[in-house]
Chain A
């Protein structure tokens, strides 16, 4: 129940009544309150500190006009207060402009307690009755420290929270324990249901039933079902309910017993033996060789105040009884219970006032390694001696120190000079042990020894094997490769006789392990003749790729889309071929990107000889082999690679590159299998999304790059996929990042070091392929229209040319747009499919996009389709949109929470609007007038835009779209001429030229 005061209302009331409660003068009306926190409106009587004129302000209240100082005796008076009954979750979402009283954070603390109890499983399923109907409820089990928290909640309850007056004349206030317990009970039930409800698969405890369910379920089954359903109520025959209630009665006892206000604490200490050094006899008591012995002391620790620890002697002397109830019996009971877990104790208890037990070295070792954790698990406290650190056992320490990250090393393995300091040692923590020291430890055969002031447990056999290992490693002829070194440092190397407990890697090995190599490498300049200027981050990417290549490590370049992965890759190829001839590189990519690779290579790295290996009549066998001698890069599609795998796998590739490497996310699919069969000196994966959905995809890409790096699929699933995806384990995620980071480079657009580097507007020619349906329609239109054009003259011919143009553009958009038949969108258009992929990435990034088309019919088709596909509103602005609506749409798009996709007709939306919330612009079809297109683009790219804008223009190779694009580009390059108005000039072309412009090329169709 919430109520509120309103600072703009009068602070006093003139109404007087001695008996009944008066209306509160400045309480906020329930209707106004419900506007802030919705809930059921109600009215109740509250006892509030008051003076004769009215209730006093709460400290949180801010008055519009300060109230006059008021005098008079402060006393408690009943007031009738409006309020709302809200859902507990409402309080987690505080409203602005409201100051909450202390009861609200208190209530949150109760909810937090409930949440922790639920997640620790300190809950008990119960059967209750409300209004005569049975209910399945989870109730908290509050014991031990949890009871301390509960008591703190009870004592911390602000008086105002218990000020409701239930009966007239009652002025004591409600019992805080009752209120807190009731709240804790309700919230615990809610917390359990919420946590179970968040599971991946909705949890159903009731085993599946074969056949139809009976009309009324057995009580136990109905109860079990109601424990996880939203509604806790259920129905079942009354007799069964009472049987169930009787059976569950015993359950209610569990966890209600007082655990007692303390627990036993066992403290392992070293004591001096006090042996007289003058005494020539051996020191019998010396357990450690240092004149000390091990003693396990018994202590009693208070539950309420864990800092209160009493030694057993004090307990027996009666000093503890003031602090802990029945301290002696408690200690005895705890010791009796502990003896069940740790039988060594029994013998120590055979005396009147047991206070400690002596341990010899073997028992001390067993205590440190096993018994202590058993006692802790059973709920006892354990204190271990200083210097004992179970996390730092004796183990192997690997240290490598290498030169600071070099520019590029052009050899496969690591030379001695680069890895001069590769060295194994046996160490305790960071302290390396000398060989003599180790030999002594082995000879001593003691399970527990003090090494450099720290107690460590020693397995003499393993230590001896460790020594052998050191000697063997020292004789090792070849230094390890970088891959081997990383594997060892990441704990995935071959088995060692002792655990690897420390890795000290300085220089570039350390940089790789830390994932900082990109920053420490010297940025590389692309070779002379490379025509693109690399941005600084691209230079760093180039040197990173070259570095990993020189080490023979597979590399995944996972920069955000638009950051220029292709150009970095081309720079690497050009760099490597400056002066040497390493052999051809094979690039696998989706069909739609083959042309991009060819074009970008021709544009930026004209020295690279590129062969597109696809389509009918591609050279195979000897012809291919011959061709390769004069080729630097072979680009092929995943589909073609799978078909030609027998050919490709037998060729000597310098490198294998997977573009859009998420194509091999399914390790069992044909493209993945093909990619894995091809042998190459080096492997690179390019992807903007290294993991689209599931971690298994990451496994597939990383395993392709560096086979075995993430282990076998099943092991990967157990170790990473399940803990991370199902249990959101941070530890497992950290571990996975640690292992993958040497091989993965990902820069994002929002990275400030990248943004500073970027041009402000990135233009991308977005290629796609026609579907078979589109291709056959396209041919029909060309045949049909060419006939008409040939038969017509003058203005009629011009008209026919423009009509042909329009129809072909419609086919490229979608078959249904040409047919005007309202047929479904489906997967019939290569352009729409590609658009969906791009929008998917944009939406996933949380970015916004403008999509321009000149065809309102196409836009009208897309709006419902895209809105269903992305489950969000898609804005659409066209010539018929009224001004008011237009402004409203723009405002909504510009607001942070507004829709992220905005479709606009080129003519209506091309001018006048400011849509800077978008940092992507897509031109779905072309007007072939750069000025018009730029005007449209500038809706997003204008003052107010703080981010870089990516502009995509759709273009299908082998169609009229590409031909005209090329034509314009070349003309622009020649004379920078501005094409006056759209497509009119087309009408002047001769029939032969038109045929060339219209003809459908083989590359237009997706052959995948």
Chain B
């Protein structure tokens, strides 16, 4: 049943061990990167001409073989479970920008709120590449030498399927949060936003508001009002307006893998949401 040639490394011949609770990508078929910025990373990988390893790496990512993944300034370190008992340690390194380089980049971002606004809304304007290029900075790696890749597996090829799997997981991380791309270059989200705030001319947030209403008093301190409801109960009648279409929730959830007699489960559930929607409130 193996699609491997007989001379293949022994690591290939055995099936990888199953990982419980491993990191798994949501994409179930086709390409993995959903956004242009994660596609830029995958493009580097796919330009390396290691075809078969890529598809096996994708299968690894889909099967959840990645035990852990840490993204830090300049590097992604992951443990990938192969066929051997000990997971392989893989590392993808990216050069970080220096302090002076980040200074330029942050000023450029602070001067044009559109970039941060788009990033915070979960997107990344393609113009950002040009913006940084104008400052002499490359946001994405262009070719293999822009990256360093290591894996403790016995495969001689670089990248191996384990590295490939990490790339795919990384791509989904980028899809979900474009700030991760910048974090890899040396500024995590919180630091970057704080720096931008400063550059916008405001000193770091003077004071965060106190966490509201936490810390329930012990019963013994409530004897004077033991039997009465708190005054806030009068506010309990405020509800968000019903602007969402019925079943909007169903558009946000991943489809279940099983269909029932050719019907998608979300479509079946939609009927219930429509019925609820017609129900008069109060």
> A residues touching B (Cβ–Cβ < 8 Å)?
47-49, 58-60, 74-76, 101-103, 105-106, 109, 112-113, 115-125, 141, 143-146, 148-149, 151-160, 162-163, 171-173, 175-177, 192, 195-196, 198-199, 203, 205-207, 209, 218-221, 224, 227-228, 243-244, 247-248, 250-251, 254-255, 304, 316-318, 321-326, 328-329, 332-337, 339-340, 346, 349-354, 376-377, 379, 726-728
Contacts and interface: CB of A to CB of B under 8 A. Distances in A.
Nearest to B262: A207
5 contacts: A49-B226, A74-B223, A101-B227, A173-B219, A349-B113
Given A228-B272, A250-B253, A349-B113, A151 B212 contact: yes
B227 A158 contact: yes
A846 B233 CA distance: 40
Contact of A207 (B114, B121, B247, B263): B263
A75 B220 CA distance: 7
A153 B243 contact: no
A333 B110 CA distance: 14
Nearest to B278: A727
Nearest to B119: A336
Contact of B277 (A75, A121, A207, A322): A121
Contact of A149 (B111, B236, B280): B236
B265 interface: yes
B280 A119 contact: yes
A353 B254 CA distance: 37
A196 B272 contact: yes
Interface in B241-280: 241-244, 246-249, 252-254, 256-258, 260-261, 263, 265, 268-269, 271-273, 275-280
Of the candidates B112, B240, B252, B260, the one having the most CB atoms from chain A within 10 angstroms of its own CB is B240
B86 interface: no
B242 A120 contact: yes
B138 interface: no
A436 B232 CA distance: 58
Closest 6 CB pairs of A and B: A336-B121, A156-B233, A336-B117, A333-B120, A173-B219, A349-B114
B213 A155 contact: yes
B110 A145 contact: no
A123 B257 CA distance: 21
B237 interface: yes
Given A121-B277, A145-B240, A155-B230, A328 B271 contact: no
B203 interface: yes
Contacts of A112: 237, 282
Contacts of B111: 351-352
Interface string B106-142: 0000111110111111110000000000000000000
A205 B281 contact: no
Given A119-B279, A148-B238, 9 more contacts: A48-B226, A59-B228, A121-B276, A124-B249, A151-B212, A195-B276, A205-B272, A326-B193, A332-B116
Contacts of B114: 336, 339, 346, 349-350, 354
Contacts of B4: none
A822 to B, nearest CB: 48
Given A121-B244, A205-B269, A318 B235 contact: no
Contacts of B260: 206-207, 218, 220-221, 224
Contact of B220 (A154, A171, A322, A340): A171
Given A336-B117, A352-B111, A119 B281 contact: yes
Contacts of B219: 47, 76, 159, 162-163, 171-173
Contacts of A148: 235, 238
B253 A251 contact: yes
Nearest to A203: B275
A156 B229 contact: yes
A383 B109 CA distance: 30
A121 B249 contact: yes
Given A102-B228, A119-B281, A728-B280, A250 B249 contact: no
Contact of B261 (A123, A171, A207, A254): A207
Nearest to A125: B269
B104 interface: no
Contacts of A74: 223
B216 interface: yes
A123 B228 CA distance: 30
Nearest to A727: B278
Contacts of B234: 152, 156
A787 B80 CA distance: 112
A332 B265 CA distance: 37
Contacts of B31: none
B154 interface: no
A171 B217 CA distance: 11
Contacts of A125: 269
A103 B258 CA distance: 44
Interface in B60-117: 110-114, 116-117
A192 B249 CA distance: 15
A248 B236 contact: no
B232 A152 contact: yes
A117 B265 CA distance: 22
B34 interface: no
A377 B243 contact: yes
B49 interface: no
A597 to B, nearest CB: 45
Contact of B248 (A75, A121, A329, A336): A121
A101 B256 CA distance: 46
A47 B242 CA distance: 41
B231 interface: yes
Contacts of A118: 276, 279
A710 B276 CA distance: 29
A958 B38 CA distance: 94
A680 to B, nearest CB: 42
B174 to A, nearest CB: 17
Contact of A323 (B116, B119, B209, B241): B209
A141 B223 contact: no
A205 B268 contact: yes
A449 B235 CA distance: 41
Contacts of A205: 268-269, 271-272
A144 B240 contact: yes
B213 A151 contact: yes
A326 B193 CA distance: 10
A113 B233 CA distance: 12
A250 B269 contact: no
Given A160-B227, A353-B113, A153 B205 contact: no
Given A316-B200, A332-B116, A248 B256 contact: yes
B208 interface: yes
B117 A349 contact: yes
A175 B214 CA distance: 11
Nearest to B125: A346
Contact of B249 (A59, A254, A726): A254
